[in-house]
Chains A and B, each alone.
Chain A
Amino acid sequence: MEEKIIKIKAFLAKFFRKHELQEDEDIFALGFVNSLFAMQLVMFLEKEFGIVIDNKDLDLNNFRTIKAIVAFVDHKLNLAS
């Protein structure tokens, strides 16, 4: 859990440089998000955690906060195991 949060925070820090993102803060409400971010996030999560994101996962709520992302990754890893 902790390790996942650290990795996700490090990735997101590239996009939210002047802002220390809180774990339950709404990423999309901050307004920095663009198409590049969406795709990089998908690639990052797939590579870092060995999951495959597909059409069923395309619910923005899965990616809205750091906490939501961690829960989503855990859910995908559970499904896979």
Chain B
Amino acid sequence: MKIEFTPEQLKYKEEFRIFVDTVIIPEADRNDRDEHMCTEIYKKMSEKGYMGSMIPRRYGGLEMDMITLGLLNEEFGRGCSSARSLLTVHGMVALAINKWCVQEQKDYWLPKMASGKVIGAFGLTEPNVGSDAKSVETTAVLDGDYYILNGRKKWITMGQIADLFLIFARCEDKLTAFLVERKSPGFSTKPINGLMGARASMIAEVIMENCRIPKENIVGAVGTGLSHVAMSSLDYGRYTVACGCVGLAQACLVESLRYARKRRQFGQALRKNQLIQKIITEMVVNIEAARLLCLNAGYLKEIGDPDSIMAIWNAKYFASKMAVQVASDAVQIHGANGCCRDYPVERYYRDAKINEIIEGTTQMHEVMIATNAFRSYV
């Protein structure tokens, strides 16, 4: 066993750090306040090739290994949860196309997605359907050379700006995935504002009223929408969210260290107080534990090990809960200042909570992890 980054991974890590420090962080607060991601961000992400970070080289992507992708998402998570969300959902759609679409679709979409000309969004959740994904109400009916889709999707990250949506619908009463272009007849989106965290995620409701798409836009086969397409996309999504949580928590730690060094009470710096030291210690150790869970999951995913799926559930479960705790502690260390948006921990705290909801809630993780434990360990 050897846990060590390759020289190339280390080079990337440094590149990501600089990019996040110079491009992402300076805009993060404003994006959060405006509930809007400025176009400059994804333009620069595209220029760097990050929109194609997960896409094979033959389609113009960077085809990063899973560890490097983890580092990318960790760094983005450190800077801005909304920008990390863009990487997540765009990647979930690109990877679904790469794995489950016919060659013509791959040749058509993946170069455009790799260059950032086309942005992808993932449409599973509906007004009446969240955790119970198999109960999707949107329908797809074959009509000659077209599928006709009817239904609504809710909370769709990047839904306001995406060009291409991976939509899950009931077809012949079986859950099935489809590629739906924004310009399809009968397709529209409505922005959702007022989110607590990840506020620049450009979230929208998606409305499909007799939305007509070519029948070639099916992804996978009828009935494999959840079992194959959504599961593999969400697997990647969960991994990137988990890594993003590590970055977010790291940002909380750094801010807490700075603050505890500078702030004085009772005639000394906060850092001299042993109760503060305990909080810092728990932050350090829990962040490291989450990071190792992510690295382990990323390694298993890279080598195609079936156990990577559960390793990713474990990592996302631990990392998202950890991020919420660490962000809460960071606010605590900052006192009233932590409750004010002049200090970044206020945003981190709001952003952290979102991670316990997306890509499967904490409770859904508990159901999966416990069920798997009963099956595997005794």
The yes or no verdict on A and B being binding partners is: yes
A positions within 8 Å CB-CB of B: 11, 14-15, 17, 35-36, 38-44, 46-47, 54-55, 58-60
User: Chain A residue with minimal CB distance to B100?
Assistant: A55
Checking A38, A44, A47, A55 against B221 with a beta-carbon cut-off of 8 angstroms, the contacting residue is A55
Encode contact with A along B341-378: 1 for CB under 8 Å, 0 otherwise.
Answer: 00000000000000000000000000010001001100
Say if the beta carbon of B1 comes within 8 Å of chain A: no
Closest to A33 in B: B227
CB <8 Å contact, A55 and B305: no
Indicate the member of A17, A36, A41, A60 with the most B CB atoms within 10 Å.
Answer: A36
Shortest distance between the CB of A4 and any CB in chain B (Å): 16
**Are A35 and B227 also in contact (CB < 8 A) when A47-B303, A47-B306 are?**
yes
Which chain B residues border A38 with CB–CB below 8 Å?
Answer: 224, 227-228, 231
Take A54-B99, A54-B100, A58-B220 as given contacts and tell me if A42 and B375 are in contact as well, using a CB distance cutoff of 8 Å.
no
Tell me the residues in window 214-240 of chain B with beta carbons closer than 8 Å to chain A beta carbons.
219-221, 223-224, 226-228, 230-232, 235
In the bound complex, residues from chain B placing their C-beta under 8 Å from that of A55 are 100-102, 219-221
B149 within 8 A of A: no
Q: Is the CB of A43 within 8 A of B224?
A: no
Q: CA A54 – CA B229 in complex, angstroms?
A: 11
Q: In the complex, how many angstroms separate the beta carbon of A53 from the nearest chain B beta carbon?
A: 9
Identify 29 residue pairs between A and B in the complex whose beta-carbon atoms are under 8 Å apart, listed by A's number.
A14-B375, A15-B375, A35-B231, A36-B231, A36-B309, A36-B368, A38-B231, A39-B227, A39-B232, A39-B235, A39-B306, A40-B306, A41-B306, A42-B228, A43-B304, A43-B305, A43-B308, A44-B306, A46-B304, A47-B304, A47-B305, A47-B306, A54-B100, A55-B100, A55-B101, A55-B220, A58-B224, A58-B228, A60-B223
- Say whether chain B's binding surface is mostly helix, strand, loop, or mixed: helix
Q: How far is the CA of A53 from the CA of B335 in the complex (A)?
A: 54
Which residues of chain B from 286 to 316 have a CB within 8 Å of any chain A CB? 303-306, 308-310
CA distance A15 to B279 in the complex (A): 42
List chain A residues, Cβ under 8 A from B235: 39
A17 pairs with B375, CB closer than 8 A: yes
Give, as a whole number of angstroms, the nearest-CB distance from A56 to chain B: 8
A60 CB, nearest partner CB in chain B, Å: 8
Contacts of B230 in A (CB 8 A): 35
Report the bound CA distance from A10 to B357 in whole Å.
35
Complex CA distance for A36 and B235, rounded to whole angstroms: 10
| Alpha-carbon distance A14/B304, docked complex (angstroms) | 18
Question: Quick check: B221 and A58 within 8 Å, CB to CB?
Answer: yes
B238 CB, min distance to chain A CBs, angstroms: 12
Please, which residues of chain B bring their CB within 8 A of the CB of A15? 375
Of chain A, the residue at the smallest CB distance from B101 is A55
Complex CA–CA separation, A54 to B98 (angstroms): 9
B221: nearest chain-A partner, CB-CB: A58
